[in-house]
Structure 1
């Protein structure tokens, strides 16, 4: 991945406010050419100990992606007031931007 594209993704990620979520696709659309998969890759490659809110990024179906950190992600979102419906989806009004 090009360093400038990665930087765009991480800059957008840092802007997601607490209690809100966005999708891989929405982040990709705000960049100069990233795809949702590239966004996911950038998040997967974050260094240990970073402070970026990776847990605020969900799938286009407003669910958590299937990954090893999904349990922690859900817990952190709930701690910020993000609720999930009976299908595991986040309410549309929590989407940013």
Structure 2
């Protein structure tokens, strides 16, 4: 991945406000050429102990992606006041920007 695009992805993720979420695709659209999969890869490649709010990135269907950290992601979002409906979706009003 182009280092400049990776940096754009990480900068956008760092700007997601507490209690809000955004999708992989929305992040990609804010960059100079990233895809949603590239955003996912950038998140997957983060070193342990990083400070980025990775847990605020969800799928376009307003659900958590199926990955090993999904339980932790759900807990962190709930701690920030993000609620899930009976189908596991997050309200559209919580999406940023």
Aligned residues: 97
The aligned residue for residue 96 of structure 1 is 96
Superposed counterparts of 1:1-97, under 5 Å:
1-97=1-97
Q: Shift in Å at residue 8 of structure 1?
A: 0.2
- Aligned equivalents of 2:72 and 2:47: distance in 1? 17
- Aligned equivalents of 1:13 and 1:67: distance in 2? 18
Q: Shift in Å at residue 31 of structure 1?
A: 0.1
The RMSD of aligned alpha carbons is: 0.2
Structure 2 unmatched runs, 5+: none
- Aligned equivalents of 1:2 and 1:49: distance in 2? 23
After TM superposition, the runs of 4+ consecutive aligned structure 1 residues lying more than 3 A away are none
Q: Deviations 1:19-43 (Å, cap 9, x if unpaired)?
A: 0000000000000000000000000
TM-score, normalising length: structure 2: 1.00
